[in-house]
């Protein structure tokens, strides 16, 4: 799938985004290092990876596709992976992490912890939007970029460390409504979804909902739905022998050419290149 490393980074004073597409790491000389206090999404997932903790101890680790992982106060070295991997790692500056943790009342957890396997589609959406920023495919203004970075750490600190998540960003969808809408989308990916029906789930006007959803996730509602459908298709293609035509039809894409173009633009591979075990 990925026969050579492809690493794209964006760094600024408040943080760093790294989009890594890596072939299997079979020798320690090619290890990768997760930065302290980072939040990452592993798109392909891994089984039987070997990591080295700050203590020097090595352990095996399985990572489910699309799950959220974090690094604590010390870096984590990935010394062996037996499959190609695609990872987006987001790392806020120490000062920003501390500021968000203080706002949420969990100062002791500003550096997060070594955790993996968390399923949270709000965090997934923010990281996915920042992924496009690192690739240069969808630029983001500096204030919007920093707002999403803060929101990502707020979601992590609230979801895993007991932080008191209070939405202070003007116009953004509050966490309760956002969770309700995301859960509805995930349960109805194979059905027709309209802006009006999503706004009804959120109990908002369509105009207010569209702006509030993008304020919370960085993605417009239609962008989020498309991203989740294509991610679902990626997982289906990797876990089954069904053709991409069949998979496309299952999520409402009757125009195979359109589906192929969307898939390649987002995933970086043609549907036919995704197969079980890759």
Tell me how far apart the alpha carbons of residues 68 and 120 are, in angstroms, rounded to a whole number.
7
Tell me how far apart the alpha carbons of residues 90 and 156 are, in angstroms, rounded to a whole number.
12
Nearest to 109 by CA among 149, 174, 162, 34: 162
Which residue stretches of the chain have pLDDT < 70?
1, 27-31, 165-171, 275-278
What's the pLDDT at 170?
Answer: 56
* E-assigned strand segments in the chain: 6-12, 15-22, 32-34, 38-42, 46-52, 58-63, 67-70, 76-80, 85-92, 115-118
- Helices (H), strands (E): how many in the chain? 9, 10
Beta bridge partners of 16: 11, 91
How many residues are listed for the chain in this entry? 278
Query: The tokens of 244 are what?
Result: 């991409």
Helix (H) / strand (E) containing 255: none
Tell me how far apart the alpha carbons of residues 163 and 161 are, in angstroms, rounded to a whole number.
6
Query: The tokens of 113 are what?
Result: 């912890």
User: pLDDT by residue (tens digit) across 184-234?
Assistant: 999 999 998 999 999 999 999 888 999 999 989 999 999 999 999 999 999
What's the pLDDT at 277?
Answer: 45
What radius of gyration, in Å, describes the C-alpha atoms of the chain?
19
Distances in Å between the Cα of 212 and the Cα atoms of 164, 169, 185, 201 are 20, 10, 16, 13
Spell out the residues 6+ positions from residue 174 whose beta carbon is closer than 8 angstroms to its own. 167
Q: Is the distance from CB of 20 to CB of 33 less than 8 angstroms?
A: no
How many Cα atoms occupy the beta-carbon half-sphere of 156 within 13 Å? 38
Helices 256-267 & 221-239 angle (0-180, nearest 10):
90
Q: Is the distance from CB of 84 to CB of 24 less than 8 angstroms?
A: yes
Tell me how far apart the alpha carbons of residues 130 and 271 are, in angstroms, rounded to a whole number.
23
CA dihedral 33, 36, 42, 47 (to 10 degrees): 60
- HEC sequence for 101-151: HHHCCCHHHCCCCCEEEECCHHHHHHHHHHHHHHHCCCCCCHHHHHHHHHH
Q: Is the distance from CB of 212 to CB of 171 less than 8 angstroms?
A: yes
What's the pLDDT at 267?
Answer: 84
- The end-to-end CA distance of the chain, in Å, is 7
């Amino acid at each position: 799938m990925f026969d050579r490393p492809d690493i794209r980074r964006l760094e600024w004073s408040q943080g760093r985004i790294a989009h890594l597409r890596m072939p299997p790491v079979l020798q320690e000389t090619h290890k990768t290092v997760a930065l302290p206090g980072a939040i990452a999404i592993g798109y392909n997932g891994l089984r039987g990876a070997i990591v080295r903790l700050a203590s020097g101890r090595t352990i095996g680790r399985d990572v489910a596709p699309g799950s959220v992982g974090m690094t604590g106060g010390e870096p984590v070295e990935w010394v062996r992976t037996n499959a190609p991997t695609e990872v987006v790692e987001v790392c806020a500056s120490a000062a920003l992490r501390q500021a968000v943790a203080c706002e949420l009342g969990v100062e002791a957890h500003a550096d997060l912890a070594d955790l993996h396997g968390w399923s949270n589609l709000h965090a997934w959406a923010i990281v996915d939007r920042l992924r496009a920023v690192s690739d240069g495919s969808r630029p983001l203004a500096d204030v919007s970029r920093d707002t999403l970075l803060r929101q990502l750490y707020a979601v992590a600190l609230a979801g895993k460390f007991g932080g008191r998540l209070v939405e202070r960003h003007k116009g953004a969808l509050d966490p309760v409504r956002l969770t309700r809408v995301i859960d509805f989308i995930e349960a109805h990916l194979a059905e027709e979804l309209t802006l009006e029906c999503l706004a009804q789930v959120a109990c908002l006007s369509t105009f207010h909902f569209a702006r509030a959803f993008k304020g919370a996730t960085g993605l417009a509602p239609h962008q989020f739905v498309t991203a989740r459908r294509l991610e679902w298709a990626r997982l289906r293609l990797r876990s089954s022998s069904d053709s991409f035509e069949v998979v496309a039809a299952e999520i409402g894409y009757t125009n195979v050419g359109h589906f192929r173009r969307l898939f390649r633009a987002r995933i970086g591979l043609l549907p036919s290149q995704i197969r079980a075990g890759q």
